[in-house]
C-alpha cells in the first residue's frame, strides 16, 4: 500500500509571529520556516506503517513556494521515499490545495492519505475533509491511533466526549492529532541519503487546477491586549459584579 | 529554566562568507558539501540539541553523577536515553571516516555541532567529545588491526573513549608521571598506576570504555621522552569483537566540582590492567598531542558555547523584564516600566556578548577550515600554510576564547540581576560550566606561554608572518570602502600593537624569559582582540556587499555592521593598554620577594 502525505511549510512554532505594518498579513520574510508540526506527525505515522511492512512506499507532497523543497527534504530525511513539489507563489487556500491533492491521488493511487489535522499558520482545519469530499473517500479525522486491517483501517478519533473508533474502507483519508505519535529526529545518515532521493517538480497547471485565491484578506491585526482583571473578596461580590456587567441577570 | 536555539542562520553566514566552506571542493571530503546539505544537517542537529540535550542541562547539573559502592557510576537521569538517541541519530560519526562507519564530513561541520552540543549541554557533550578525541588518536597512530578492532564500535557510540594523562602529582609536567607498563608474555602490557581528573572515566552510557593511558615502560627515561600511550579497555574485547572479562581498571571516586556536574570526573585506578601499546614506544606524548590540539579547539568552542547560551537567555530576559524607565524618557509608556534592554549598561553587556560570540564563532570556523586543509588539502604547501595558521591560533582560540567566554557568561548573568544568581534561571550554571574551560586542556596561562614561547616563533615565525599578512591584505582590500573606515582604522591600530608586542617580545623575551612569561596573557588577549577584529572585518565586508546587492535579509546584515562598529569602538582600543601591560616587563610582576607574600 502506498501512503501519500501532504506537508506544509509554515512559520516555525518557536517564532513569535508579527503582523506586517501594512496589516496585509504576518511577517514571513527572513523568518525561520519549518514543517507544520501536525504534518510531521503524519510523516512519522506513514514511516511507521512502512517499518511495520504495511506501507510499501511513502510519498510526500508539498504545495507552495520553491523553498518547500526544504520541507520535502526534511520529510525525506525522516524516511519518506520520494517527494512531489507543486510550485506556486500564490497564497495556498484549503480548497485549491485539496483539488491539487485530489489530482495527485488519482495519479498515485495511494491506499491512505495522511494529513495534519490543520496547519499552525491559518489553523483552517479543512483540507483533509475537503479532499475526502472531492475524492468520495472515507475520512478519519483527529486520529490518535491508526490501525490498518486488510482493506480497512481502524482510526481512533479524539472527539469532545472522549475517543471514537471508526472503521474506514480503504482508500481513506486520515488527519492526525497531537497524540498520534512523537515524530522522530532525522538521523544524520538519513539526512545524507535524503539528498539523493527524487523530488518531482510540478505546477498547479500540470494538474489543471487554478489556485488563484478566492478569499480576500481585508485586514490582519494582533489580538487585543488582555485587560487587567479585578479581584473580588467573596462570592456575593462576584455575583454583584457580574450583574453589574450584565453577565448574569 | 533556560532555553537554547542553535544559531543556524549566523553559522551558515559564517561558513560561507568567512570560512569559505564551499570554496574547498578541491579537498577530498568536501565534494558533497553543498549549502543545502549543510543547512539540513545543522537544522536537524540544532533541533536535536535544543529539544533533547538542552532540557537535560539544568536537571543534570542539579542531580550530578553518582558513584555506587561497587565502583560503577551513573550519569544524571535522562543522559543515557539522550546518548542512545544521539548515537542512533548517527551524530557521533559525523566526521569519522566512512571506512569505520562515519559520515566523513569535514571537521568544520563537526566544530559547528560541537558548539551546538556544548551550548545546549556541555556536561553531556563531553561524553561523545572525549570519545572523538580518542578515536582521532587511534585513527592516526593505531595499527590497521587496532583501528579495525576499536574504531567501528567507538564511531557508532556503543563504546566511548577517554584521555588519561593527569596523575595526582602531575598535570602540566607530564614527564613526572609514575604509571607503569610492564610487558606481558603475549605482547600486551600490565598497566599500574592512578590517574585523576578523567572526564567520562566511568559511566553507564556505553557498553565499553576505551581508556587511552600515558604510562612508562621499564627503563624509560624520567621525562616526556619516556612516555608511551596505551589502549586500556574497561572490558577486554575478544578477537570476534565480543566483550570478555572486566579489566583491572576501576573508578576510585568521582570529584565534587564547581561545574559540569553531569559529567563524571573520575579517579581511575589501574591495577595491572591489560593494555595495548598505541603507536611507538616512548612516542606517547606526540600521539596524545593529536588528541590535545583538537581537544584545545574543542575547549575554545565550549567557551564560545557557554557565552552564546548565556547571551540568548540574557536577551530574552532583558526584553521581558520591566524595571525602571529609560534615561531618555519612557519607551513603553503603556506599561508600568520599560524593559531593561533600554538601559545603556544592559546594552553594553549584551553588545559585548554578541560582539564576542559572533566573531568568536567566525574565528573558530575559519580556524576549523584550516584544520581540514592541514589534513586533507592535495597541495603540500596549502597543507603547511593551513597548519602554520591553526597552530598559531589554537592557543588563542582556547585561551582567549575561554577567558572571554567566561567574562561574557558572567556579564549575561549580571543582566538578570538577582535572578542571575538563582539556580533555576540557569545563568549561574553557564558561568560555572564555562569556568573549567579556562583550566583544563592546559590552563590559559599555559596557552599564553605556548603562544609566546612556541607558536609565535615556530618555523621561524612563518605562521605569525602568514597571519599578519592575511590581516594586512584584508585591511588593504577594505581600505577603499570609506563606509568600513570605522573598523579598518582601529583594526590597523590593533594590528600595529600586536606587531609592536611581537617586537618587544623578541627584544626582551630572550634576554629575560620572565618578560615573556609576565606579558604572555596580555599578549594573548591582544592577539585575540585583533583576530576577532579581523573576523569582524571579513563579516562587515560580506554584509556590506550583501546590502549593496539588495539582500532579501537587510536586518541581518545591518545588525552585523552595527555590532562590528561596537567591537571596533569598544573592544579593539583595549590593545593599547594591553601593550602597555606587556611592555611593563617582568620586573613589576616579579619584584616582590617570595617571602613577602
Closest residue in A to B91 (Cα) is A188
To which H or E segment does residue B235 belong? Answer: strand B235-237
- Catalytic residue status for B441: yes
Question: pLDDT tens digit string along B381-415?
Answer: 999 999 999 999 999 999 999 999 999 999 999 99
Q: With 80 as the cut, is the pLDDT of residue A249 above it?
A: no
Closest residue in B to A195 (Cα) is B37
CB contact under 8 Å between A188 and B94, yes or no, is yes
User: Of A153, A96, A151, A147, nearest to A126 (Cα)?
Assistant: A96
Instruction: Give B36's contacts in chain A (Cβ within 8 Å).
Output: 70, 73, 195
To which H or E segment does residue A156 belong? Answer: strand A152-159
Cell of residue B302, nine digits: 565550549
ipTM: 0.90
Q: With 90 as the cut, is the pLDDT of residue A246 above it?
A: no
Q: Is the pTM of this model over 0.80?
A: yes
In angstroms and rounded to an integer, the radius of gyration of the C-alpha atoms of chain A is 21
What pLDDT, on the 0 to 100 scale, is given for residue B84? Answer: 97
Hey, is the C-beta of A185 within 8 angstroms of any chain B C-beta? yes
What is the least distance, in Å, from the CA of A209 to any CA of chain B? 30
Hey, is the C-beta of A245 within 8 angstroms of any chain B C-beta? no
Query: Confidence class of residue B239 from pLDDT cuts 50, 70 and 90?
Result: confident
In angstroms and rounded to an integer, the radius of gyration of the C-alpha atoms of chain B is 24
C-alpha distances in Å from residue B565, one per residue of A244, B206, B533, B538: 59, 48, 10, 13
CB contact under 8 Å between A192 and B555, yes or no, is no
Q: Which residues contact A71 (CB under 8 A, 6 or more apart)?
A: A7, A8, A9, A33, A34, A35, A62
Instruction: Give A194's contacts in chain B (Cβ within 8 Å).
Output: 40
Average pLDDT score over residue span A6-21: 94
H helix intervals, chain A? 37-51, 68-78, 94-108, 127-135, 188-194, 235-245
B477 class by beta-carbon count within 10 Å (0-12 exposed, 13-18 middle, 19+ buried): middle
Q: Which residue has the cell 507532497?
A: A61
What pLDDT, on the 0 to 100 scale, is given for residue A53? Answer: 96
Q: With 80 as the cut, is the pLDDT of residue A228 above it?
A: no
Question: pLDDT tens digit string along B41-61?
Answer: 999 999 999 999 999 999 999
CB contact under 8 Å between A188 and B47, yes or no, is no
What pLDDT, on the 0 to 100 scale, is given for residue B286? Answer: 85
Closest residue in A to B52 (Cα) is A185
What structural domains does chain A harbor?
Answer: 2-221 (3.40.50.620)
Question: pLDDT tens digit string along B121-164?
Answer: 999 999 999 999 999 999 999 999 999 999 999 999 999 999 99
Question: pLDDT tens digit string along A94-111?
Answer: 999 999 999 999 999 999
Three-class SS of residue B189? strand
CATH domain B8-66+73-141 topology = Butyryl-Coa Dehydrogenase, subunit A; domain 1 (1.10.540)
Hey, is the C-beta of A226 within 8 angstroms of any chain B C-beta? no
Kindly report the backbone phi and psi dihedral angles of residue B180, in degrees, each rounded to the nearest multiple of 5, phi listed first.
Answer: -105, 150
Domain residue extents for chain B = 8-66+73-141, 159-282, 459-590
Distance CA B6, CA A15 (A): 13
CATH of B159-282, one of 2.70.98.10, 3.40.50.300, 2.40.110.20, 3.30.465.10: 2.40.110.20
Choice among B115, B139, B202, B441 that is catalytic: B441
**Cβ(A208)–Cβ(A173) below 8 Å:** no
User: Of A22, A83, A24, nearest to A213 (Cα)?
Assistant: A24
Query: Confidence class of residue B175 from pLDDT cuts 50, 70 and 90?
Result: confident
Average pLDDT value for chain B: 96
DSSP state of B167: B
Mutate to test the interface with A, among B4, B29, B31, B40 (most CBs of A within 10 A): B40
Can you give the length of chain B in residues? 597
Distance CA A176, CA A49 (A): 14
CB contact under 8 Å between A195 and B37, yes or no, is yes
CA dihedral B579, B583, B588, B590 (to 10 degrees): 100
Hey, is the C-beta of A30 within 8 angstroms of any chain B C-beta? yes
Amino acid at each position: 500500500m502506498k501512503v501519500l502525505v501532504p506537508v506544509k511549510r509554515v512559520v516555525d512554532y518557536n517564532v513569535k509571529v508579527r503582523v506586517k505594518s501594512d496589516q496585509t498579513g504576518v511577517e514571513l520574510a527572513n523568518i525561520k520556516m519549518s514543517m507544520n508540526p501536525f504534518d510531521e506527525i503524519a510523516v512519522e505515522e506513514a514511516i511507521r506503517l512502512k517499518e511495520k511492512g504495511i506501507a510499501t512506499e511513502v510519498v510526500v507532497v508539498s504545495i507552495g513556494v520553491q523553498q518547500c523543497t526544504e520541507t520535502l527534504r526534511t520529510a525525506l530525511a525522516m524516511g519518506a521515499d520520494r517527494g512531489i513539489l507543486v510550485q506556486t507563489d500564490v497564497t495556498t487556500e484549503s480548497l485549491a490545495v485539496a483539488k491539487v491533492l485530489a489530482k495527485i491521488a488519482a495519479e498515485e493511487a495511494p491506499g491512505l492519505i495522511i494529513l495534519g489535522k490543520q496547519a499552525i499558520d491559518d489553523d483552517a482545519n479543512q483540507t483533509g475533509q475537503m479532499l475526502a469530499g472531492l475524492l468520495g473517500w472515507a475520512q478519519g479525522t483527529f486520529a490518535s491511533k491508526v490501525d490498518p486491517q486488510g482493506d480497512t483501517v481502524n482510526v481512533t478519533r479524539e472527539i469532545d466526549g472522549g475517543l471514537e473508533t471508526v472503521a474506514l474502507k480503504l482508500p481513506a483519508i486520515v488527519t492526525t492529532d497531537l497524540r498520534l505519535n512523537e515524530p522522530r529526529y532525522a538521523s544524520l545518515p538519513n539526512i545524507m541519503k535524503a539528498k539523493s532521493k527524487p523530488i518531482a517538480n510540478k505546477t498547479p497547471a500540470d494538474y489543471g487546477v487554478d489556485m488563484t485565491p478566492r478569499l480576500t484578506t481585508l485586514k490582519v491585526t494582533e489580538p487585543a491586549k488582555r485587560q487587567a482583571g479585578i479581584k473580588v473578596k467573596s462570592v456575593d461580590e462576584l455575583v454583584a459584579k457580574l450583574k453589574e456587567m450584565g453577565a448574569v441577570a | 529554566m533556560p532555553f537554547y536555539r542553535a544559531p543556524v542562520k549566523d553559522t551558515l553566514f559564517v561558513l560561507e562568507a568567512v570560512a569559505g566552506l564551499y570554496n574547498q571542493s578541491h579537498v577530498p571530503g568536501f565534494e558533497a558539501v553543498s549549502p543545502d546539505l549543510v543547512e539540513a544537517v545543522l537544522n536537524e542537529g540544532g533541533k536535536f540539541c535544543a529539544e533533547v540535550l538542552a532540557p537535560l542541562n539544568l536537571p543534570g547539573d542539579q542531580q550530578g553523577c553518582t558513584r555506587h559502592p561497587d565502583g560503577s557510576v551513573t550519569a544524571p537521569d535522562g543522559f543515557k536515553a539522550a546518548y542512545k538517541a544521539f548515537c542512533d541519530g548517527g551524530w557521533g560519526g559525523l566526521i569519522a571516516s566512512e571506512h569505520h562507519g562515519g559520515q566523513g564530513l569535514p571537521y568544520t561541520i563537526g566544530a559547528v555541532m560541537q558548539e551546538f552540543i556544548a551550548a545546549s549541554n556541555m556536561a553531556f557533550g563531553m561524553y561523545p567529545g572525549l570519545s572523538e578525541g580518542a578515536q582521532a588518536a587511534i585513527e592516526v597512530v593505531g595499527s590497521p588491526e587496532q583501528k579495525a578492532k576499536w574504531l567501528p564500535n567507538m564511531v557508532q557510540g556503543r563504546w566511548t573513549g577517554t584521555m588519561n594523562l593527569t596523575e595526582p602529582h602531575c598535570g602540566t609536567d607530564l614527564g613526572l608521571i609514575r604509571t607503569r607498563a610492564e610487558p606481558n608474555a603475549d605482547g600486551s602490557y600490565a598497566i599500574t598506576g592512578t590517574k585523576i581528573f578523567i572526564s567520562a572515566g566511568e559511566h553507564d552510557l556505553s557498553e565499553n570504555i576505551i581508556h587511552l593511558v600515558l604510562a612508562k615502560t621499564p627503563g624509560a627515561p624520567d621525562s616526556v621522552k619516556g612516555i608511551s600511550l596505551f589502549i586500556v579497555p574497561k572490558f577486554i574485547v575478544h578477537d570476534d569483537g565480543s566483550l570478555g572479562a572486566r579489566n583491572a581498571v576501576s573508578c576510585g571516586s568521582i570529584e565534587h566540582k564547581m561545574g559540569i556536574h553531569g559529567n563524571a570526573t573520575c579517579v581511575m585506578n589501574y591495577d595491572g590492567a591489560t593494555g595495548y601499546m598505541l603507536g611507538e614506544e616512548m612516542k606517547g606524548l606526540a600521539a596524545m598531542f593529536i588528541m590535545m590540539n583538537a581537544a584545545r579547539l574543542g575547549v575554545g568552542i565550549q567557551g564560545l558555547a557557554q557565552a552564546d547560551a548565556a547571551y540568548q537567555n540574557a536577551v530574552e530576559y532583558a526584553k521581558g523584564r520591566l524595571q525602571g524607565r529609560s534615561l531618555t524618557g519612557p519607551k513603553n509608556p503603556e506599561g508600568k516600566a520599560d524593559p531593561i534592554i533600554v538601559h545603556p549598561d544592559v546594552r553594553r553587556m549584551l553588545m559585548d556578548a554578541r560582539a564576542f560570540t559572533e566573531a568568536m564563532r567566525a574565528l573558530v570556523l575559519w580556524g576549523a577550515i584550516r584544520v581540514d586543509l592541514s589534513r586533507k588539502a592535495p597541495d603540500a604547501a596549502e597543507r603547511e600554510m593551513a597548519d602554520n595558521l591553526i597552530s598559531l591560533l589554537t592557543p588563542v582560540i582556547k585561551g582567549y576564547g575561554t577567558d572571554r567566554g567566561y567574562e561574557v557568561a558572567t556579564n549575561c548573568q549580571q543582566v538578570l540581576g538577582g535572578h542571575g544568581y538563582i539556580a533555576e534561571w540557569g545563568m549561574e550554571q553557564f558561568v560555572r560550566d564555562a569556568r573549567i574551560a579556562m583550566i583544563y586542556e592546559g590552563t590559559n596561562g599555559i596557552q599564553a606561554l605556548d603562544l609566546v614561547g612556541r607558536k609565535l616563533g615556530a618555523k621561524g615565525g612563518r605562521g605569525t608572518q602568514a597571519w599578519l599578512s592575511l590581516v594586512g591584505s584584508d585591511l588593504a582590500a577594505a581600505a577603499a570602502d570609506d563606509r568600513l573606515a570605522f573598523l579598518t582604522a582601529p583594526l590597523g591600530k590593533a594590528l600595529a600593537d600586536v606587531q609592536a608586542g611581537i617586537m618587544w617580545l623578541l627584544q626582551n623575551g630572550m634576554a629575560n624569559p620572565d618578560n615573556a612569561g609576565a606579558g604572555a596573557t596580555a599578549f594573548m588577549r591582544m592577539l585575540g582582540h585583533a583576530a576577532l577584529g579581523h573576523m569582524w572585518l571579513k563579516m562587515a565586508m560580506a554584509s556590506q556587499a550583501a546590502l549593496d546587492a539588495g539582500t532579501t535579509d537587510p536586518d541581518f546584515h545591518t545588525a552585523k555592521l552595527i555590532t562590528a562598529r561596537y567591537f571596533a569602538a569598544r573592544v579593539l582600543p583595549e590593545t593599547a593598554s594591553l601593550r602597555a601591560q606587556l611592555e611593563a616587563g617582568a620586573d613589576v610582576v616579579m619584584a616582590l620577594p617570595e617571602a613577602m607574600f
